[in-house]
Amino acid sequence: MPALTTTADGFLLHGEPFRIVSGALHYFRVHPGQWADRLRKARLMGLNTVETYLPWNLHQPDPDGPLILDGILDLPRYLALAKQEGLHVLLRPGPYICAEWDGGGLPAWLTADPDIRLRSSDPRFTGAIDRYLDLLLPPLLPHLAANGGPVIAVQVENEYGAYGDDTDYLKHLHEGFRSRGVEELLFTCDQADPAHLQAGGLPGTLATGTFGSRIEQSLARLRAHQSEGPLMCTEFWVGWFDHWGEPHHTRSAADAAADLDRLLSAGASVNIYMFHGGTNFGFTNGANHDHAYAPVVTSYDYDAPLTEHGDPGPKYHAFREVIARHAPVPAEPAPAPAPKLAPFTVELTHRAPFLPYAVRTTEPVGAETPLTMDELGQPAGYVLYRTTVPEAGDGLLHFTGGVGDRAQVFLDGAPVGVLERERHDETLAVRAPRPGAALDVLVENLGGVNYGPRIGAPKGLLGPVTFDRTPLHGWSCHRLPLTDVTGVPFEPSDRADDHEPAFHHGTFEVTEPADTFLALPGWTKGQAWINGFHLGRYWNRGPQRTLYVPAPVLRAGRNDLILLEQHATTARRAQFTDTPDLGPEKP
């Protein structure tokens, strides 16, 4: 018997009238040492529910391997903490989640099949989903409300009407949940557009909408599609995400609060997207590709009520006041900002050249023409491609099909240019210093497209390479997922600057761990790790200028900072500050 049921115009929870006042809080974007803190702050804002997606690509990175449910992916622990805090949970397992997440959450091993029809009733796709659900649902069933847990509803797919209209596929998912023991309310969600609601709906399943404004119009469209039942906005967009090279997006607290008030005044239920955005740690960010490829930045602050670093922002206080007009809000005071480390500087005293490291420490895969990352079985990170050019002199390197997503080109170790997918680059004029000069192409995966028909677009070198129309053969492909950088062979260095890709290492002392922010003026582009924890990508093109360092990443005493700088640095030091800088706002 489901705990949450519907009436002609609302919800009942265990038979009593209930309005969902929820906020999105993705466990996989928050350090697990901070889950309890973020959940407590959700309750204190007046939320009675939290919502989370599930990233299939992280939980099942190997189609034949076990399900991963530990560390930042310990969803059962997250659900237990939510229950402990007195919060209900909306679970959105996808299989597709969008979420500005790498590949929309679809595993690279799945999207690598060029013939598979994603998000459809193609048996190859539904078969993979069935195997995933067979692994996923047994450890989650104890956390469903029917079994005394906090999960009161489960979503079927995600904004499917913006992608397709395969009702048989949606029915397969619906039956997949039911046949595996999910008794709770099932729902769909689509953008508040009549065509999307029609294509993404499933008869007999609650339809909900996603929108951030035009409240009355959006609710009217939802009611026109579904003549009775609760009105629910499953994604009330209160901010937005950022791409590298674009301004930082914000929305005024007053404007968002006014629309939240309109939504609640209409009697609707809501899930605030995002309540707390968190961070795209490591290589997990997604990308968009409309006219051009555009990768998402490391921060997923989203201008949410609770900032990326977990402090109440202006929207937190404004939303708390609005919610108090419509639902109970705890009498406890709003939470105060968390402690921050005082600003300090770290000298990076050791280095290790990156290209030699890549060659020495990885087993190359030989190929006559370059292999894509999919063909190499690598879902994220970098690949170094190596061959030689036959002749000396000026010539044109042509990369058939372009690159996915960004390639740095070197001849005999000297940088000669960069190609980017977002600029549709395919050619580069170079001067080969001698016959047989070594050609190195370092390709970076900047994040898988998470929305639209380009999900699963290949990464790496995407076709044959020629030099003045002469095909280049005999490639060595070095896989560089960089999942572990503890073995980098650092040596002392006193160089004032650096002009080649290299790892850099420094140490610093902390008396008592607290949140801080890593700033890298004078550095160009790369990755950052603290104590082996991959903070994510930095890039001086902005808008983001600092990386969030969660307090649990640090330890009392000595701490290690490692940077992979891909281009050049004029500063052999890093700065830690007590204030984030996510860049200039969009005018």
In terms of Cα–Cα distance, which of 295, 290, 328, 256 is closest to 100? 295
CB contact at 8 A, 92 and 52: yes
Q: How wide is the angle at C-alpha 449 spanned by C-alphas 361 and 176, nearest 5°?
A: 100
CA 253 to chain centre: 24
CB contact at 8 A, 565 and 502: yes
Please say whether the dihedral angle defined by the alpha carbons of residues 170, 172, 176 and 178, taken in this order, is positive or negative. positive
DSSP SS3 for 26: coil
Beta-carbon contacts of 445 under 8 Å, excluding residues fewer than 6 positions away, are 283, 373, 379, 380, 381, 382, 404, 405, 459, 460
DSSP SS3 for 97: coil
Which uninterrupted H or E stretch holds 526?
strand 525-530
What is the Cα–Cα distance from 190 to 204, expressed in whole angstroms? 16
What is the Cα–Cα distance from 104 to 96, expressed in whole angstroms? 6
What is the Cα–Cα distance from 503 to 499, expressed in whole angstroms? 12
Please say whether the dihedral angle defined by the alpha carbons of residues 428, 432, 433 and 439, taken in this order, is positive or negative. positive
What is the DSSP track for 251-317?
Answer: --HHHHHHHHHHHHHTT-EEEEEEEE--B--TT-B-EEESSSEEEB-SB--TT-SB-TTS-B-HHHH
DSSP SS3 for 83: helix
What is the Cα–Cα distance from 132 to 276, expressed in whole angstroms? 27
CB contact at 8 A, 201 and 190: yes
Long-range contacts of 415-424 (CB under 8 A, 24+ apart): 415/499, 415/500, 415/567, 421/293, 421/446, 422/292, 422/293, 422/294, 422/295, 423/292, 424/292
- Catalytic positions are 159, 235
Residue for token digits 């093109």?
541
Which uninterrupted H or E stretch holds 234?
strand 232-237
Q: Tokens for 137? A: 């649902």
Q: Which letter does DSSP use for residue 196 in this model?
A: H
Distance (Å) of CA 16 to CA 5, 457, 477, 562: 10, 48, 61, 54
DSSP SS3 for 447: coil
